Chains A and B, each alone.
Chain A
């Protein structure tokens, strides 16, 4: 108080001294929105070039020449006010936010708030309501359909399932394509997870640690120009998240808000199972077969071996598994029936989320403390998620110049998962024969829980046995947060300096447990496994910035930002595992016959220096430039440092007087930008590695573990590193136009961007005959063309009723222009065949595998050889590209109808095109014959193809005299051709619908209550048969295009309640 008094005295004295020529006017500017003082507000004397900016406390002091009567207060995001002086020397002003859409303020790189209309590149923001209203526990999934240019692919509907978020296509063949996450000014780990495409279980992405309820707003920096200040880690775009902090509260008493969301989950789609044919092969019932090529179900009692008609059990057939289960002889004979093992297995999942937030804003500061709890019970047995979130933040001003504060977030996430692909926990659910009562028949021998009873060979486990004996568990404890100190001062009449230092850590420990219980894959104890691993990761990040704002003249403002960033990552993984449980009850590493261990450490650091200059003229022309120099430890010592520039410009013709009174055109902007950002690679000296075991590509567990009879083994590292490695470089151009018509009733934002990535760093696969397997080097180019369109329409606004439509459209073409010399495609994931690859001349990524043999015209060739069992059937051709994963376009459509306190929202997403290797569909249709596509086995058929002589195929197969033809075609021929498993992945989904009612506080005396009901993923139209297309293996660069025994998606219904007082 004393200081402020002194300032007043000084100001008054100055004013007195200046008497005669000028009048000194002082005052404070605050924001109506949050009641806080506003620094950096431009205060000018109307009709002159005299002016100043408010200081850190929102204070200003200005010498006004006599005869001048009006002050103009302007600030981005606020309505400009002209205030008559009327002889006053103290004028305090409250600025009102300018709610006209395009004048909104967005948080850009390094926490700099800027007016959206001044930006030369596209950004898009999403409010907390859009994320929270449909009750998603994973914020990544909640973003689907909400932002143009984002392709978000969840892997499944299991609790905690990973998802891939790709902004404007991929930039790296093998590396990270996920965006950088910046929470409350601090870059944190957000991506990761996904796991293998071929086995094991999905790993959660670290974005799961964020509690959607804590998020106040999200801003997506899509292009490289927008994210350039963050340097090498931001080449994939940045998702800037601001958490709830109390700054938006009215000053005064603390506010408590509580919300609860309860959701019921069900499996989204049931395959159309056939109900005619029994388990077996070659038209014969076989009770241990994995397939359903058996006899007709109605004929089972006639089976010579298992039929009861000839064995004294008329109308029944024998199920040997019931003998295994110890049933009395009479009870092992059952009446043929059809079971839907899928529907019987999945249950209704339930999710509950509870959050409480205490926040307060006071004169000089604000704080918020929150807790959140999420408990999810999955649709599959033994799956679930438990998450605890706690957060606290506070900031306060100290004296005239200083401000300090902190943000801290803690998350604890526990997930129980199931395994996929070759370890598919649910393989037996997906492909169970319709005649086998999987749920009803016990899953282990009586008295021996470690000896499974199953309908098929134990290369897969019985899913009900899995629930009791196998574990795939993951627990993450994460802490991230930062503390900052800000110094604000005026360096002159119209020059403000803001220096900010911030230091933060992001650290987590992840403990994973994988157990294959005794009895896994049969009775050999060596198949059982216990694995425990601990992964510790610590990121230390410090950012310092100095920000200079300068009102050059009344028409021009400029700003300069200089800064530096220190980023250090350390990780360590230790694991202990063992195979061969000595006895089943104690699932512990110490109870394994062959224990093993491993250790892996990592350390990397980058230091960056950056700067940004912005200049604008009359709100008409905006120019900006940035530069960043990064020094990265993971590169060869000669090539560690590199510089990246970016430039952006925008022109706002509606700021010209001729548009001032335009009725139809409210706003127009043309923008352009150019940016370069890189990604660093990794470099190591040639090395040897210790061998831990040998499995030669066939075995699930090693056939030899090291030490072998006391001997160790080492081999030269088969990955070579190029010592001349340079960072890969993304050059991107972006052009855009923003238009707004009829008082912002219609808004359009169109952006075209082109990225050229050259000097890709990736592991160039070496010919095996070189001895080594890969060379990490610069090679190859990737280009991306993206068209994005955001359309906002308010078709109806009548009284209290308002209809908002919001469309996000993206068309992206992401082409691999070049790989290394002689390299046509590189492996990204998958089996021996098929695989996910990047391939020259194709979009990224592609599915690679065995194809149909075709003639020169591209027609499918059939065998024309009456002596061949494949007569009239297609053949396997050479392996090649059999599908491109990238969709043709993605359209998100969001509608909101609001009337007074009621609002109804919906969001659709339409993904058109793109292929998927649907292993599940292929297996169900061809190999296992369990779906309706295999139900017609009696009619003759002519396979759609051409004979070698060029004529259309007319060879008739099937029918009563050729009973094995369908199985030969489906199982032996098509089942071996990966291309037959490629499906169109187009879909339209009603992602969510929600209805929300808010009881206003005037009724409930200061308390606000909101109630909502919602549903997610309820309507699906898809080209993919039998399954929900958003179910795949490995989130990373497979991008949802690869599936084999993935876990299914869910449909959800729920309700929520918010109370704030």
Chain B
């Protein structure tokens, strides 16, 4: 009996030892995730995600349908084409919505780490990168959603339901981020991201040029509200000087790196060759027409164009994009865009000298766009095309031709930026890019993206702004003449 008691006591002691606080802490240690990671490793994630989701995600795929770069011919993109469900649903862009805010949150942690008092204080270049990437993400946010949570965003322990901030205020912060980034990138910093810098391999000068490119783009974006074409030209002057400077997310085409549109075609096959784009190319006798579109590989050999908004739901019928190849890059900021920006700014300033400069910039832009790897034309091809088909149109209507050329050059990777241009042009009364989808006149042209469902379902401030989602057809964003 006594023996039994001793055994019993021994067991109790063993049990108590097996669940002490230290032991339980040891057991609950998270073996799968580190608690601290340096900024050079998290910045990489923000750069790649900017390409994969920020400029190459749902917003691009839908914008492409809205602006008629492509025709949605199946599933969600067909719904977008015929303005049913998708354009007004809160779930449509939710993935981009959450990814962009997550990236901004992650970048804020980098900014805190690299600022005064942080564990990486003095890492000015990473601080500058984080600020510049923040500017980019923040501008996408403002361009897509107008007024959106910002001042109270990214602070879950204080604000579970952030209020909306005005797009104007957000844009002020975009410029502040760019200016701070330039200041920090110009400081001395011995650290080098090396291969972790997937945009520029650690080249800080390239980052500074990229910062000025963004400044030019966003100054031009606000042209309806505050035209500042000289500042646009000045910023562009500090920026890219050739194709080598542009900011890309590259894909090598192997199964570990396949381009956005290529993956989309493989996995969803819901975009078809757009008749209205084809007609624009045809009217200019543009050599890219034969490159941009190819017959459906599952079809019967003919190149069939989908009539915008009047197409049928057959995935194997219409032609598909010839640019959707596995190694097409995603343009974070292309050199041709910078030249198009310059061209527009010069056109807007007006006067013979400026128009001459505009023409030079336009030619450079077209030449660069012709040499996109998946277009594969030469500078000579561009030269011939410019002389034969563009120059005359430019002389007749400089703004129309600059913007139409930009629209054509942006096919298909830069649809998101083209969508911003179209909305801005409409606000400025320069409706120079003709869209053919009949639903624009019946249901409407989507003026913006719906707020993400992750906020619509949890944040009353955003839910109220979302309403039923039908506002996307009626309310342009602030820089496009709207109120919110």
Residues of A within 8 A of B (CB): 280-282, 284, 286, 288-291, 320, 456-459, 487, 489, 499, 501, 521-522, 524-527, 544, 546, 564, 566, 568, 579-580, 592-594, 599-607, 609, 631-634, 637, 640, 683-691, 694-705, 708-718, 720, 765-773, 775, 821-825, 832-833, 850, 865, 867-870, 876-879, 971-973, 976-977
A123, B351: Cα distance in complex, Å: 92
Nearest CB to that of A578 among chain B residues? Answer: B255
Q: Which residues in A have their C-beta under 8 angstroms from that of B89?
A: 833, 850, 876, 879
Docked-complex contact A320 and B300, CB < 8 angstroms: yes
Docked-complex contact B198 and A459, CB < 8 angstroms: no
Can you add 9 more A-B contacts, CB < 8 Å, to A633-B27, A822-B161? Answer: A290-B315, A521-B266, A526-B255, A604-B28, A605-B18, A716-B109, A766-B458, A878-B468, A972-B84
Docked-complex contact B316 and A457, CB < 8 angstroms: yes
Q: Which residues in A have their C-beta under 8 angstroms from that of B256?
A: 579-580, 593-594, 702, 704-705, 708
A33, B469: Cα distance in complex, Å: 72
A773, B298: Cα distance in complex, Å: 40
A-binding segment of B93-101, B282-290, B355-363, B427-435: B93-101
Docked-complex contact B15 and A607, CB < 8 angstroms: yes
| Shortest Cβ-Cβ A-B pairs, 7 listed | A771-B105, A580-B255, A288-B316, A526-B255, A769-B149, A768-B454, A768-B98
- Across the interface, B33 reaches (CB within 8 A) one of A288, A521, A688, namely A688
A694, B47: Cα distance in complex, Å: 12
> Nearest-CB distance from A875 to chain B (Å)?
8
Docked-complex contact B31 and A601, CB < 8 angstroms: yes
Residue B384 at the chain A interface, CB threshold 8 Å: no
Within B311-369, the residues touching A (CB, 8 Å) are 312-317, 326
Docked-complex contact A713 and B41, CB < 8 angstroms: yes
A-B contact pairs, 26 of them (CB 8 A): A284-B312, A289-B316, A456-B316, A525-B255, A564-B11, A566-B18, A609-B15, A633-B27, A640-B19, A685-B35, A688-B37, A688-B42, A689-B33, A698-B264, A699-B266, A699-B267, A712-B41, A713-B45, A716-B109, A765-B457, A765-B458, A767-B149, A767-B162, A770-B154, A879-B89, A971-B313
Nearest CB to that of A765 among chain B residues? Answer: B458
A694, B263: Cα distance in complex, Å: 12
Contact flag A289-B314 (CB < 8 Å), given A714-B41, A714-B42, A876-B84: yes
Docked-complex contact A281 and B45, CB < 8 angstroms: no
A775, B453: Cα distance in complex, Å: 17
Q: Which residues in B have their C-beta under 8 angstroms from that of A489?
A: 1
> Nearest-CB distance from A992 to chain B (Å)?
41
Within B35-74, the residues touching A (CB, 8 Å) are 35-37, 41-42, 44-45, 48-49, 52-53, 56-58, 61, 74
Docked-complex contact A687 and B35, CB < 8 angstroms: yes
- Across the interface, B458 reaches (CB within 8 A) one of A282, A286, A699, A823, namely A823
Q: Which residues in B have their C-beta under 8 angstroms from that of A705?
A: 255-257
> Nearest-CB distance from A493 to chain B (Å)?
17
A775, B160: Cα distance in complex, Å: 10
> Nearest-CB distance from A835 to chain B (Å)?
9
Q: Which residues in A have their C-beta under 8 angstroms from that of B104?
A: 771
Q: How many residues of B contact A (CB 8 A)?
A: 111
A524, B457: Cα distance in complex, Å: 39
Residue B459 at the chain A interface, CB threshold 8 Å: yes
Residue B380 at the chain A interface, CB threshold 8 Å: no
A230, B475: Cα distance in complex, Å: 59
Q: Which residues in B have their C-beta under 8 angstroms from that of A637?
A: 21, 24-25
- Across the interface, B315 reaches (CB within 8 A) one of A288, A683, A711, A833, namely A288
A696, B258: Cα distance in complex, Å: 13
Nearest CB to that of A684 among chain B residues? Answer: B30
A685, B105: Cα distance in complex, Å: 18
Docked-complex contact A288 and B298, CB < 8 angstroms: yes
> Nearest-CB distance from B467 to chain A (Å)?
9
Docked-complex contact B255 and A771, CB < 8 angstroms: no
Q: Which residues in A have their C-beta under 8 angstroms from that of B454?
A: 765-768, 773
Nearest CB to that of A964 among chain B residues? Answer: B312
> Nearest-CB distance from A694 to chain B (Å)?
4
Within B178-235, the residues touching A (CB, 8 Å) are 195-196, 198
Docked-complex contact B97 and A768, CB < 8 angstroms: yes
A601, B29: Cα distance in complex, Å: 10
A226, B254: Cα distance in complex, Å: 59
Residue B396 at the chain A interface, CB threshold 8 Å: no
Docked-complex contact A822 and B458, CB < 8 angstroms: yes
Per-residue CB proximity of B72-111 to A under 8 Å, as 1/0?
Answer: 0010001100101100111110111111011011101100
A770, B157: Cα distance in complex, Å: 9
Contact flag A770-B155 (CB < 8 Å), given A637-B25, A825-B457, A865-B442: yes
Docked-complex contact A716 and B42, CB < 8 angstroms: yes
A767, A769, A867 — most chain B CB neighbours (10 Å): A769
Contact flag A640-B267 (CB < 8 Å), given A288-B299, A289-B314, A765-B457: no
> Nearest-CB distance from A822 to chain B (Å)?
5
- Across the interface, B257 reaches (CB within 8 A) one of A487, A546, A632, A703, namely A703
A458, B337: Cα distance in complex, Å: 36
Docked-complex contact B56 and A593, CB < 8 angstroms: no
Q: Which residues in B have their C-beta under 8 angstroms from that of A564?
A: 11-12, 15
A393, B245: Cα distance in complex, Å: 75
Nearest CB to that of A603 among chain B residues? Answer: B27
Q: Which residues in A have their C-beta under 8 angstroms from that of B273?
A: none
Docked-complex contact B4 and A688, CB < 8 angstroms: no
Nearest CB to that of B149 among chain A residues? Answer: A769
A636, B261: Cα distance in complex, Å: 46
> Nearest-CB distance from A932 to chain B (Å)?
21
A291, A521, A876 — most chain B CB neighbours (10 Å): A876
A686, B260: Cα distance in complex, Å: 32
Docked-complex contact A771 and B25, CB < 8 angstroms: no
Q: Which residues in A have their C-beta under 8 angstroms from that of B161?
A: 767, 822
> Nearest-CB distance from B285 to chain A (Å)?
31
- Across the interface, A288 reaches (CB within 8 A) one of B11, B90, B255, B317, namely B317
A867, B255: Cα distance in complex, Å: 47
Docked-complex contact A527 and B300, CB < 8 angstroms: no
Contact flag A708-B48 (CB < 8 Å), given A544-B11, A703-B259: yes
Docked-complex contact B258 and A526, CB < 8 angstroms: yes
